[in-house]
A and B are shown apart, each in its own frame.
Chain A
Amino acid sequence: MNSLTNSSPDTENLIRPGSYYGNGIPYLPIDGYPGKIIAIEGTDGVGRSTQIHLLREWLEVQGYGVIETGWTRSELMQPTIELAKASNTLNKLTFVLLYATDFADRLEKEIIPALKAGFIVLSDRYIFTAMARAGVRGVDRTWMRNLYGFAIAPHLVFYLKIDEKTLIRRVLQSRGMDFWESGMDMKLGYDIYESFRAYQRSLLREYTSMADEFGFRVLDAKRKIDVIQDELRRQIGAFLADSDAATQPASS
């Protein structure tokens, strides 16, 4: 069976933060919007939400408007995704496309309006989570990158990097392993522990392979919460100071 259309790889474009990765959404031009997107990436159990919570407070005290957005949180799609996960009818393609739909909904309804209004968007996971999950399930990489060509390149992407061993201990300590986080749909084995380990290991490999391509700022997630938070604040502070200076008139 031949495929309907031939995927031709995109000509390698330079990624510009705050712009679309690919051709974007033609009816929504976003050039010159004052807001910023800061994405925190990392697998389960690396402390993303704690860090985002602390960052939000810190940014708001300085007078920045902040909104948070997170994976599968779109009003339109969340119930559908939960239902599909529960009913076990998802295959790798519908899985990928449901996530993309959720992201598109949040992009149009939350992220783009916030950027236009000059907010800082703190994104708990971004498209890289989708790419990693699709990658380990063998979805074509070029196709995935084209699919997310409508996404906006974040101004900063922090990747909270953790090793397999620490990750397993943290997840077991907090809430235990669940079906999807363990990649049980991939039928790597009947044992949830072994499946979790194999699945998370290949996820980590996927994230690492994207680090250069998408300019991740890699942070060691094994360190203490406040040490990581300080590092985040230092880097974000420097970035915001630079961009605030760039938008202010030179004479003042």
Chain B
Amino acid sequence: MTFSLLHATDFADRLLYNIVPPLKAGMIVLADRYAYTAFARDAARGVDRRWVRELYSFAVKPDLAVYFKVPIEVSTDRLMARRVKLKFYEAGMDMGWSPNALESFRIFQGKVLDEYDRLVEEFGLSVVNAVGSITEQQRTFRKLVSQHLAIEETDEQLDEQLA
């Protein structure tokens, strides 16, 4: 609970200082993780799903939310290749599922991924297959973003024509 609420506090602070002002100025805000991370992670820790969603009802709905999806093996391999030690909370060690960090991480991330699958449907997240190369992913990502911005522009042009 405290973990969930501390993150929500941090999010509220960033929302009001770093996200809302640029939005009002008409800028694009790129958010590395958003409230969906909290939905997935908190639910995996056994916090009530509906409660977390309502907790974050003050958040601004993103115009586009992209989920980079990888199977659990790929994410563990990548993490192992990059560094030695998993962080305590990142590995879900606080849950006491396993004394082994990697094993605990697998169990925890497994639950987190299940939650993400649920979120994709619930909130209509766009899924990018993150197993592919960075270049491939970036292409798909750019396509998604430009489609989105293009639509916005046409709308604006239409508005102008109508005005």
- Contacting pair A97 B2 (CB below 8 A): no
Any B CB within 8 A of the CB of A23: yes
Closest to B5 in A: A101
Q: Which residues of chain A are within 8 angstroms of B62 by Cβ–Cβ distance?
A: 4
Interface bin, chain A: 20 to 34
Report the nearest B residue to A9, measured CB to CB: B54
Alpha-carbon distance between A101 and B60 when the two chains are bound, in angstroms: 22
**Complexed CA–CA distance, A3 and B20 (Å):** 12
User: With A25-B1, A93-B16 in contact, do A147 and B61 touch (Cβ < 8 Å)?
Assistant: no
- Bits for A136-162, please: 1 = Cβ < 8 Å to B, else 0: 000000010011011000000000000
A161 → chain B, closest Cβ, in Å?
30
Chain A residues with Cβ below 8 Å from B13 are 89, 91, 94
| Given contacts A23-B48, A107-B1, A143-B54, A4 and B9 within 8 Å (CB-CB) | no
**Using a CB-CB cutoff of 8 Å, which residues 106-133 of chain A contact chain B?**
107-108
CB-based contact A23/B51 at 8 Å: yes
Nearest CB in chain A: distance from B96 CB, A = 11
Contact A104 B5 (CB under 8 A): yes
Question: Residue A88 at the B interface, CB < 8 A?
Answer: no
**A2 at the B interface (CB under 8 A):** yes
For chain B, the count of residues having a C-beta within 8 Å of the partner chain is 29
Which residue, of B9, B59, B60, has the highest number of chain A Cβ atoms within 10 A?
B9
Q: In the complex, which residues of chain A have a beta carbon less than 8 angstroms from the beta carbon of B20?
A: 1
Q: Which of A1-22 contact B (CB under 8 A)?
A: 1-8, 22
**Taking each of B13, B56, B60, which has the highest tally of chain A beta carbons within 10 Å of its own beta carbon?**
B13
Q: Select from chain A the residue with minimum beta-carbon distance to B122.
A: A5
Write out the residue numbers on chain B whose beta carbons fall within 8 Å of the beta carbon of A23.
48, 50-51
Contact partners of B144 in chain A: CB under 8 A:
none
What is the bound-complex CA distance between A101 and B35, given in angstroms?
17
Contact assessment for B9 and A26 in the assembled complex, using a CB-CB cutoff below 8 Å: no
B148 CB–A CB distance under 8 Å: no
* Cβ distance A9 to chain B, nearest Cβ, rounded Å: 10
Instruction: Point out the residues of chain B lying under 8 angstroms from A7, CB to CB.
Output: 54, 57
A76 contacts chain B at the CB level, 8 A cutoff: yes
CB-CB under 8 A for A2 and B51, given A25-B1, A101-B2, A105-B2: no
Q: Is A134 an interface residue (CB 8 A)?
A: no
Assembly CA distance A91 to B61 (angstroms):
20
A47 within 8 A of partner (CB): no
Q: B55 on the interface (CB 8 Å rule)? A: yes
CB-CB < 8 A to A143: which residues of B?
A: 54, 57-58
B2 touches A26 (CB 8 A): no
9 CB contacts below 8 A, A to B, read A1-B23, A5-B53, A5-B57, A26-B48, A27-B47, A93-B16, A94-B12, A98-B9, A143-B57
In the A-B complex, the 5 residue pairs with the closest CB atoms: A27-B46, A97-B9, A101-B5, A4-B59, A104-B1
A residues with CB within 8 A of B: 1-8, 22-27, 76, 89, 91, 93-94, 97-98, 100-101, 104-105, 107-108, 143, 146-147, 149-150
B residues near A, CB below 8 A? 1-2, 5-6, 8-9, 12-13, 15-16, 20, 23, 35, 45-48, 50-51, 53-62
